[in-house]
Chains A and B, each alone.
Chain A
Amino acid sequence: MKLPIFFKNRMTEFSLSVIFVIGFLALVLTSNGVFLSRASLQGFLTYLAVPIAIGLAQMVVLCIGQMNLAVGTMGGVSCAIMAVLMADHNLPIWLAIFIGLFSATAMGAINGALVVLTQLNGFIITLGTYTILLGFQYRLVKTFTIDKYPSSLPEFGKRNILGFPYILVVAIITAILLSLFFSRTIIGRRVLATGGNPLAARLSGVSNNRSIFIAHTLSGLLIGVASVITIASLPGINRSIGGDWLLASFAAPIIGGVLMSGGTIAIYGTVIAAGVVRLVDIARAQYSLDPSIVSLSVGVVTLSTVALSEWRRRRTERQNEGMKELI
């Protein structure tokens, strides 16, 4: 009775893991080992950190049935703030990082507050803040690339323990803390309850407004983490940062098994999904694929992954098959 439930709820994660392993091995074999070289793994893992962080940032908002369209510009702005503070006002790194994290969190909090106050749907609010922040990002960095800050930060981005880049470790730890937050703390559970059934949550003494506020704020914090990782892994900061975050932030959690209707989280799923997508980048470089081919294959990979998991799920859920949902 226990085991099946365990699997039933983790089918997507499971099949994603399978796909990841297969893809990984395929790359190792076809690159006759090059992929296992320190440099390759380094690169692979380093740029895995950001997709994970922004995926989680989107996930926490998805779990209350809303979206955060501002992930990109929130990240862009907090990166810009950190860069400017360090480069132009030569603040110490730790302080800049703190302010970066704080500002991102604040932006999230503002999103949350606006959603609660105006009772407008989060989609519109974050679209609004997205636009506003786009403006601020330009104000902060104009069209230049800022990199006149202590090189110890980019160097930190390149350092690693046993081949694991620090910044990936940061991302993973964040993920673990997040899963503890959702599984073990009352606040976490309440946020999920709101996502699962707001009316019921309310009648059970949960304040949905608080949950919404918390979810958006948390999303901000996670974006802050993503920004720190970004600034540590890039040669500099300019207004293009965050430009490609939006779809990535949705892709990871949703491929990872999170429902857009809210109430679910899938932290491991998000992480592994980010990994699968990252494998495609590697393949692109490895086989010098044409980007159009890459896009095509990303499309196909995504589809097949989910189709497979769906097929597995339905096979295992026969016993108490519910209504076939078309979400």
Chain B
Amino acid sequence: MKFKKIFNDQRVVLTLLTIALFIFFGLRNSAFFNVDFVIYPLLRDGATLTVIGLAQLCVLSIGHLNLAVGRMAAVSALVAGASYQYWGLTLVQGAILGVLAGALLGAITGWIIVKSQVNAFIVTLAMDFALLGLVTFIYVTFTGATAAFTTKPAGMDYWRSKSLADFCLGPICGPKALPMMLVPAIFCLILVSFMFSKTRLGRELLSTGSNLRAAKLSGIPVENRVMTAHIFSGTLAGIGGLMLAYTNGSFTAAIGSQVMLPSFLGPVLGGTLLAGGAVAVLGTFIGTMMTLVIRQGLSVQGIGLETLNIALGLVLLLALSVGQIQKMFTSIKLRGKK
């Protein structure tokens, strides 16, 4: 019984799937177990996408979505980049500034939604367009031919290239496969999951997502909660944006331009409901990792573009339906027992 329960948990199924896929690809081509070129970058990118996934998850919890998640990331990268280039701030100072910018954008978005009572989809879509314009305009007008902020504050490359192996307590160092970027990601994961599973705020957000009317009639300040959700979303998007910039090496308008769909993929694969009311924080990480493993696994097999996406999509669907079939299976068993 307990055993079955465990297997009903989508996260467990996903994790097993991901590990299975990982081993499968590794056995097909041992190059896939290469730490420097596969595992490390995989986890590094996974960390970044997870944080952005969490940004999406925060609004999904109240049944909204944030189409501007990528552009918010771009803005906070822009702010941080500018602060390094023009005001010579330190890495941390700039980062804080950037994240604040993200939070501010989230707040504005939330405020517009609450005040205008307009569908979050439209507001964030509009926000996305507006920010796209803004970001482009700023880079074009202020950075001339470079179209980017290229000043790297001290310690920026550290985050890109260092692993826990460089992070020692006395003689014991972390494994070389774990990138530094995991640290902020894990930090966010813990915080967000703590908030949703343990705190009053989280409960109120989920209630708002589960049944807005009931939440409102139960005295939950739903409008504030909508604001909160979007502020969190903006903040996390901001962090994600910085992680992207630090990994890639400069602060450009292209940051975040490709994360809109991936930002949904992680949470939704993990088991977050688009309708709101239920979130899967850890699932977001696992879901994200799974897609990355599949993609990189395939391309290490030397599969070219003409097959990569086809295979990627097929494996993704297959993997998921496996999870689904197994779930049906157990539920049938349960019914059979009676």
Contact = CB atoms under 8 A, between A and B. Distances in A.
* Chains A and B in contact, CB within 8 Å: yes
Interface of A: 69, 114, 117-121, 123-125, 127-136, 138-139, 247, 250-251, 254-255, 259-261, 290-300, 302-303, 306-307, 310, 314, 323-327
A132 B137 CA distance: 35
A114 B313 CA distance: 13
10 contacts: A132-B309, A132-B313, A254-B125, A260-B121, A292-B137, A293-B137, A295-B130, A299-B133, A303-B122, A326-B117
B220 interface: no
A10 to B, nearest CB: 17
B122 A302 contact: yes
Contacts of B192: none
A120 B269 CA distance: 10
B116 A292 contact: no
B216 A323 contact: yes
Most A-side CB within 10 Å, residue of B114, B119, B123, B316: B119
A138 B324 contact: no
Interface in B103-143: 112-114, 116-123, 125-130, 132-134, 136-137, 140
Interface of B: 63, 67, 112-114, 116-123, 125-130, 132-134, 136-137, 140, 212-213, 216, 222-223, 226, 261, 264-265, 268-269, 274-275, 305-314, 316-317, 320-321, 324, 328
Given A310-B116, A326-B222, A298 B126 contact: yes
Contact of B321 (A118, A121, A261, A324): A118
Contact of A136 (B118, B213, B310, B321): B310
A124 B272 CA distance: 12
A296 B313 contact: no
A292 B117 CA distance: 27
Contacts of A290: 137
A261 B276 CA distance: 11
Contacts of B324: 118-120
What are the 10 A-B residue pairs with the smallest beta carbon separation, nearest first?
Answer: A299-B130, A135-B310, A132-B313, A295-B133, A131-B313, A135-B309, A296-B133, A299-B129, A292-B133, A128-B317
Given A121-B268, A124-B320, A292-B134, A323 B309 contact: no
